[in-house]
Structure formats: C-alpha cells, structure tokens
C-alpha cells in the first residue's frame, strides 16, 4: 500500500470493486493507475471474493479510469460494478491498519504490517508486509496452514525449495528466513512477482529469493532447478490435481510437498490425485474451513513412478 503523504485541499473519494481471487491483480493495477492509495481486503469468509479499493482526490484522472477498468475486465473476464463513496483519508487508513494487526502464526513466525513499530522478539521470525495487501498476508487459513507445516518439516533441512504460485512471497520468505536456503518463487501474475520481489528486499531476503514469472511446471526456470526437496503449492484444489503428475516427477525422492488452497471438503479429491503419483500423506492441518496437506515422495520410487 502506498500511504497518502500530503494533506488534501480537495475532497477524497474511494472507488472499489469486488472480484474473485484470480481477478485481483488486474483490478489492483487498474485502480492503482488512478489512485495513490490501494488496499485489498477479503470480502467473504471463504476467501473467494476480494474487495480492491483505492482512495484519490475526487475526480482525479477520471478520464483514465474507464479505459483501465475495461482492460482489467477483458484480461480477467470479470465485470464488477464500480462503487464510489466520499472518504476521509484518516478514517480509511485507520480501517486498513485495524484490519491488519500483528499476527503470530505457529511457534516460529509473526506477520507484521509496515505501519506497526518494530519490536524485537528473538523467539519469532518477523515477516513484514504492507497493511493494504491483505491478499496473501498471512490472514488466510491456507497461508497459516502452510507456515505451520513448514515448521513441522524444517528439521529435514531441504536445500532446493520452490514456491509455486507465490502470491506476495510470504511462504518463500518464511522458508528462506527459517532454513537459510535460496528459494525460487514463481507466479503466473506479474503483480505477484513484483510484490514478492519488493517484499523480499524489504525483509532483507533479496539475496535468497529468486522471483520469476511463469506458468506452473512449464516454466523454464522451474525445470532447470529441479528436482526439489520442498515444494509449496498454495493454489486451488483443481489446479493442484491437474499438476500432481508434474509435481511428483520434479520432486526428489524423500522430498516434501505442502499443498494448500483447498477446503476440508476437497481433501479426498486432492489426496487421491497425488496418491496416484506415488506420494504419501504425512499430515493434514486445518485452519477453519481450509486444509493443508503435507505429503512426501518415498525414497524408493513406486512401480508407477518407475514407469514414467
């Protein structure tokens, strides 16, 4: 989030849209092109809808707003209604900050907004993110489940690590900070790659994170660095099932995968797809309606994997 840094002589307004998760980057770019301050908030408990809103001087760059939103609609396939409302800058910032308090996750991590003062805590690894980017900030059950799972498998000391669908880069940063190993972070959205790289620098992890734009296992950078000892895939249930074969093929024997982005009701479907590729379930972690699966590839390939 880019905070407002000047007092306004003119009135302010908030413009906002509510869209599915996949459309967030397109509308964040559109609204960000005419607003100096942009926030992203969960719009429903399931985490499937997100509210993207920006604050600007009333009417600022109005002629650029419609074309920017049209491009976002064409790119995402979504046509949300644009909401407008008068806004007091201090009230909007206060609501943004209130929605993103410090969050302790598991035993090892704490997620902190940039608006909070630094606090030394030798018992936890602090990951700092913009308060306005609640999308991938650690509040979601799937992200929290992945961080808890990482703590539980850290003793294996994985050396080659991939965060597939990195979002804000929070899981890649957590792995780099906890394990002191380089991590490849890949996402299909340019917005996510840009934010991940920025967050890595902010958290002094830039030398350990490599952020790349890519389309899943077809990404050249992913294939060059394979096989992996640890893979995060916090995506959605159906894409996870479709990528199970590629995941198993690119996972080192004895390697671990942490799968998330699925509801409890989807555990059986996702687990079945990965068991068919020879992966073995180790743990199921839950956060509300969301589930995280920890699976491992046997050191001895199964008959199915031998035939690949």
Any known ligand binding at 234? yes
Dist. CA 38–CA 162, nearest whole Å:
29
Q: 22-52 burial string, b = 16+ CB within 10 Å, else e?
A: ebbbbbbbbbbbbbbbbbbbbbeeebebbbb
Any known ligand binding at 163? no
Containing 126, the helix (H) or strand (E) segment is: strand 125-129
First to last CA, the chain: 46
Any known ligand binding at 229? no
Q: Which two tokens stand for residue 129?
A: 């993110």
Any known ligand binding at 87? no
Bind-site residues: 143, 165, 187, 234
Bind-site residues for S-adenosyl-L-methionine: 143, 165, 187, 234
């Amino acid at each position: 989030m880019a905070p407002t840094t000047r007092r306004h002589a003119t009135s302010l307004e908030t413009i906002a849209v509510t869209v599915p998760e996949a459309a967030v980057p397109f509308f964040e770019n559109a609204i960000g092109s005419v607003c100096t301050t942009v926030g992203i908030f969960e719009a429903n408990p399931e985490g499937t809808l997100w509210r993207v809103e920006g604050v600007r001087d009333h009417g600022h760059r109005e002629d650029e707003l419609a074309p920017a939103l049209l491009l976002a609609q064409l790119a995402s396939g979504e046509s949300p209604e644009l909401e407008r409302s008068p806004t007091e800058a201090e009230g909007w910032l206060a609501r943004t900050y209130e929605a993103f308090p410090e969050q302790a996750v598991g035993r090892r991590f704490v997620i902190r907004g940039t608006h909070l003062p630094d606090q030394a805590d030798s018992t936890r690894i602090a990951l700092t993110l913009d308060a306005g980017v609640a999308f991938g900030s650690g509040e979601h059950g799937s992200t929290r489940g992945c961080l808890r799972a990482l703590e539980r498998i850290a003793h294996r000391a994985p050396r080659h690590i991939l965060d597939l669908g990195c979002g804000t880069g929070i899981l890649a940063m957590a792995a780099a900070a906890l394990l002191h190993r380089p991590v490849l972070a890949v996402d299909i959205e340019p917005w996510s790659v840009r934010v991940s790289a920025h967050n890595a620098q902010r958290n002094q992890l830039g030398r350990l994170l490599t952020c790349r734009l890519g389309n899943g296992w077809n990404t050249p950078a992913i294939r060059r660095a394979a096989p992996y000892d640890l893979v995060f895939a916090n995506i959605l249930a159906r894409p996870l099932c479709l990528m199970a074969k590629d995941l198993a093929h690119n996972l080192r024997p004895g390697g671990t995968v942490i799968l998330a982005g699925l509801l409890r009701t989807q555990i059986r479907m996702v687990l079945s797809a990965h068991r068919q590729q020879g992966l073995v379930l180790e743990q199921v972690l839950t956060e509300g309606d969301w589930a995280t699966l920890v699976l491992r590839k046997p050191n001895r390939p199964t008959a199915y994997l031998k035939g690949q």
